[in-house]
Structure 1
Amino acid sequence: MSEERRLDVLRAIVEDYVLTREPVGSRVLAERHRLGVSPATIRNDMAALEEDGYIAQPHTSAGRIPTDKGYRLFVDRLSTVKPLSSPERRAIETFLSEAVDLDDVVARAGRLLAQLTGQVAVVQYPSLRRSGLRHLELVPVGDRRLLVVIITDTGRVEQRTLEVAAGPDEATLAELRSRLNAVAAGKRLAELGQGFAEVAEQFRPEHQDLARSLALLVEETLSEESEERIVLAGTANLARVGMRFEHALRPVLEALEEQVVLLGLLTEMAAESGVSVRIGHETQLEGLAETSVVTSGYGNEGDSVALIGSIGPTRMDYPGTIASVRAVARYLSRVLTA
């Protein structure tokens, strides 16, 4: 049996099963696809695919359906991903560019991806640890307190209050603001320490403690893990008749509610470059055993700060989902780094 023909048969089974949600038989494959061989030859190919664990027979005398292993081979051998149309791309760019702040753009990205795929969209907020500084603002609040406003290059805004021994004068505050912004602009957590230490040394002794305290506060804020969170959109899509999971829907919904666990999965997938696909049991989460998760990083080019993804049944339209996730991630990056 030709390996290429076997892949063609598997590809046809996946495409038909995604389309019809019914087990696929050899005669149907011969009628719908130009495989160039007889139904008998297709049956032999299907038997070999089943023996290798790529397809399975759910019921006696029924056709075959893909297994997780079969979907994995299908995804790994995808040669083309159907591109979004020009109107779809323009709609994505326009919709995201109208966002008023980070919360709005994250929510819009989620709703948009859920609508494009008909599945659940998950958007991870930009990580503070992976974000760079865009601006640092210092605002006196009373005689002995400073409001420190930290704005990242992904649009996150964090506010912290710093207790000071004595309120600095306006000139000192302006110099602190200017020097810290100059050394910190665009830099991430790992790059800030040395620059901040040098800034502190540039001030008179009575102001060095304040400069060090501000530097420490910024570094501690950017290193926080407690702020990591995700937004889900389109959860109601799971209840659509066409979605239909092989078993119960409830475990899937319960898994989606466990945001800490879901964040762990996204963190693992963030280590993979480009678009990442976890199929069925590859998620290693019991509740998501009948789902596939497709993610892509967004942020600065080649240096993502968070993930956006789509979650649906293993019987999903992989080329379409991959194209949608990739496109929304690309436009989300443009909006946040503009």
Structure 2
Amino acid sequence: MTNLTEVKLSERAQHLLKTLVQYYIREGQPVGSTTLLRESKLELSSATVRNVIADLERLGLVRSPHTSAGRIPTVEGYRLFIDNLLTVQPMDQQEVERIKIRLNPDADTKILVESASNMLSALTRMAGVVMLPDRKQSHIRHMEFLPLSDRRVLAIMVFDKGEVQNRILHTDRNYSQQELIHISNCLNGELVGKDLLRVRESLLNQMKEARESMDRIMLNAIEMAQQVFEQDEAPVHDFVLAGEANLMKYEDMADIARLRQLFEAFNEKRGILQLLDQTIHAPGVQIFVGSESGYEALDDCSVVTATYSDGDRVLGALGVIGPTRMAYDRVIPIVDVTAKLLGTILKERS
């Protein structure tokens, strides 16, 4: 957090900086001293305002773009504004209800996450991003196996968040429906209610016991389960992105080379996931302005994020990606409320 005492800003300078940032966010134009004086509604001379602007520039809080004598906020200026000068009003209940209606509690987890991402994008006119819940923290509710042709078996897993996953397993022989029912019963008795990390530990222990007792049905069940969960070793985190084309409409993000770099980052995913992973370990809304993300592709962007949880566990993070010149007072409550509503829905499924 940028501390006002560290930069020694007077109340007058704070007010002028806040006015400058708010005007620039609203109008998108560099702010000159005449405009700033008018917008601030302070009884000051133009010379005094120019002196304050010069002080703000010396402190690295504003800068002058090449094409204008006016000033715009720097990353440090935005940070000081967000941490100390921004006023965020809670969202009124009618708006909360409108968001709630757009999140269908009966939808599959992936569809629910897609709805949240689309909604974040639609409400902010920016890009909405929602991390899918961490599967390693998901608990198995039910497993079932169905016979297919050519020594194949369809494995069906139902998780506690309503997510359903299918796997096709290749086996060393054909299995009858009755055999697969026995295998399903064995695994459901042992694995239901456990998360994926505990499932793998349990399978290793049971494999040893089954071999010692020569329990053929249990051995078959464990071998099938291991094949199912081996396919789950891929990275467990992924995200759903919506509305990235919205970013092309912002004049301050119109540089084609930077846009290409940003869209490549969206497709490559790793950097965005690393940023979202950072937010999982800190509660509440977090805001990364420009280079604060540590990811070059986002240097012209701000990212507003919040974690969502089922009450006991953080399941993922969601947020909005847009220009640094975003209406933070509007975006922050939208992100915060969406995260809380999504967490509530997933908690009710547990």
TM tier, smaller: 0.7 to 0.9
2:51 partner amino acid: N
Matches of residues 46-57 of structure 1 in structure 2 within 5 Å? 46-57=53-64
Q: Does 1:323 align with 2:333?
A: yes
Identify the residue that residue 234 of structure 1 maps to in structure 2: 243
Contact 1:297 1:329 in 2 (8 A): yes
Aligned residue in 2 for 1:304: 314
Give the secondary structure class of the aligned counterpart of 1:104.
Answer: helix
CA distance in 2 between partners of 1:132 and 1:314 (Å): 39
1:270 partnered with 2:277: yes
Give the alignment's TM-score, normalised by structure 1: 0.84
Equivalent residues of 1:124, 1:230 under 8 A apart: yes
AA aligned to 2:247 is L
Mark the runs of 5 or more structure 1 residues left unpaired by the alignment.
Answer: none
Given that 1:280 and 1:289 are in contact with CA atoms closer than 8 Å, whether structure 2 keeps it comes out as yes
1:18 aligns with 2:25: yes
Taking the TM superposition and a 5 Å limit, the aligned residue runs for 1:183-202 are 185=193, 187-199=194-206, 201=209
**1:126 pairs with 2:136:** no
Shift of residue 237, structure 1, vs aligned partner: 2.1
**C-alpha deviation, 1:120, in angstroms:** 1.4
Q: 1:66 aligns with which of 73, 77, 93?
A: 73
RMSD: 3.1
2:30–2:68: 8 Å Cα contact kept in structure 1? Answer: no
Distance 1:61 1:216, change over 3 A: closer
Question: What is the DSSP-based 3-state SS (H/G/I as helix, E as strand, rest coil) of the residue aligned with 2:240?
Answer: strand
Change (3 A) 1:249 1:112: farther
Distance 1:106 1:231 in 2: 7
Tell me, in whole angstroms, the C-alpha distance in 1 between the residues paired with 2:45 and 2:137: 55
Query: Cα 1:332–1:171, aligned 2, differ >3 Å: closer, same or farther?
Result: closer
Look up the equivalent residue of 1:86 and give its one-letter code: Q
* Alignment length (residue pairs): 332
Q: Following TM superposition, by how much is the alpha carbon of 1:314 offset from its aligned partner in structure 2, in angstroms?
A: 0.8
Contact 2:186 2:218 in 1 (8 A): no
Partner of 1:248: 255
Q: Residue 299 of structure 2 aligns to which amino acid in structure 1?
A: A
How far, CA to CA, are the matches of 1:205 and 1:265 in structure 2?
47
Evaluate the alpha carbon distance shift between residue 302 and residue 294 of structure 1 in structure 2; reply closer, same or farther with a 3 A threshold: farther
Deviates more, 1:59-68 or 1:198-207: 198-207
In structure 2, the residue corresponding to 1:140 is in which secondary structure? Answer: strand
Deviation at 1:49, TM superposition (A): 1.5
The residue that corresponds to 1:156 in the other structure is 163
Match of 1:96 among 66, 79, 103: 103
Contact 1:297 1:304 in 2 (8 A): yes
Aligned mates of 2:71, 2:159 — CA distance in 1: 51
Q: When the two structures are superposed, what TM-score results if normalisation uses the length of structure 2?
A: 0.81
Deviations 1:221-243 (A, max 9, x none): 44322x75433222332243xx2
Task: Identify if the C-alpha distance between structure 1 residues 58 and 142 changes in structure 2 by more than 3 Å, giving closer, same or farther.
Answer: closer
Secondary structure, in 3 states, of the residue corresponding to 2:315?
strand
Shifted more, 17-26 versus 280-289: the winner is 280-289
> 1:7 — aligned with what?
14
